Amino acid sequence: MRLLGKTAIVTGGGGGIGRAAAIRFAKEGAQVVVADIDANIGEETVSLIHEIGGQALFVNTDVSDSQQVKELIQLTTRQFEGLNILFNNAGISNSEVRSVDLSEEEWDRVVDINLKGVFLGIKYAVPELIKAGGGSIINTSSLLGLKGQKFVSAYNASKAGVILLTQNAALEYGKYNIRVNAIAPGVIDTKIIDNWKQNERKWPIISRANALRRIGTPAEVANAVLFLASEEASFITGATLSVDGGGLTF
């Protein structure tokens, strides 16, 4: 088992990619703290992990709230005596409108969750990872953090920010044996793309806009996250790993 004895937090652990990663981590022997703003789906992930004999705990968390993130880290270290892996994955999309039509409130919400949420995770987890002698942080960016797309200004900007925040943290904490990497998924089959799926005109195009001509599964993203979390990636930090079926090259 690749994560035996490790403690991992997965934010957005009730959703598609977060759930797949939480289950994958648990199968590899990690104790997993599932953090999500939605208690129902978060608890469901924990039940799924228990069903396969894994160890997991749900902590209701809004990643954009400093106090809640601080408490998430405190609860985790108290429960499992330390922290080794943080998957900063919670995220939301924005309504597809031009920047001029996007409300300031929505801009703030998207950036607060997608970018500030990652900053808060790093801010409160790093001291614990230092105590543990090192660790791995994986941040969820997006293909849309590497490439502009019309009508998703806040999402584009927040996910691009995640990539440089990742490099920044890699540089700041490398000397403590903390590796910080990002993943940049393409179109993955989760709830976040429900709106796109309902668009009969655009979906056939969007769903085949990569070299492999198909969308990805949460499990395929979880495999990449597991690799970055594990010792197999011991000399990889500051990187952004595309998991997009070749979407960036398309």
Ligand X SMILES: NC(=O)c1ccc[n+]([C@@H]2O[C@H](COP(=O)([O-])OP(=O)(O)OC[C@H]3O[C@@H](n4cnc5c(N)ncnc54)[C@H](O)[C@@H]3O)[C@@H](O)[C@H]2O)c1
Tokens of 129: 């990872």
Window 11 to 30, contacts with ligand X (CB under 6 A) = 11-12, 14-18
Report residue 148 CA to chain centroid gap.
20
Residue 27: CB minimum distance to ligand X, A: 18
- Judged by CB, which is closer to ligand X: 23, or 132? 23
Q: Smallest distance, Å, CB 155 to ligand X?
A: 7
CB of 203 to ligand X, least distance (A): 13
CB of 120 to ligand X, least distance (A): 10
The token duo for 38 is 């939605």
The binding track of 225-244 with respect to ligand X, each residue x by CB under 6 A or -, is --------------------
| 70 part of the interface to ligand X, by CB under 6 A | no
Do residues 225 and 247 touch, judged by C-beta distance below 8 A? no
Which of 50, 191, 213, 214: binder of ligand X (CB under 6 A)?
191
Taking the least distance from each CB to ligand X, the nearer of 18 and 135 is 18
Separation between Cα atoms, residue 185 and residue 25, nearest integer Å: 18
| One of 91, 121, 135, 245 touching ligand X (CB under 6 A) | 91
DSSP E strands in 115-177: the ranges are 135-140
Cβ(238)–Cβ(170) below 8 Å: yes
Q: How far is CA 52 from the centre of its chain?
A: 23
Q: Which is nearer to ligand X, 90 or 157 (CB)?
A: 90
Q: Which stretch binds ligand X (CB under 6 A): 78-86, 165-173, 183-191, 232-240?
A: 183-191
Interaction between residue 142 and ligand X (CB under 6 A): yes
CB atoms under 10 Å from CB of 220, counted, come to: 16
Write down the least CB distance from residue 250 to ligand X, Å. Answer: 15
Longest Cα separation, the chain: 52
155 a catalytic residue: yes
d(CA 206, CA 130): 42
Half-sphere exposure of residue 212: CA atoms within 13 angstroms, side-chain side: 13
Q: From CA 171, how far away is CA 135, in angstroms rounded? A: 14
Q: List, by residue number, the catalytic residues.
A: 155
| Chain residues in the site for ligand X (CB under 6 A) | 11-12, 14-18, 36-38, 41, 61-64, 89-92, 113, 140, 142, 185, 187-188, 190-193
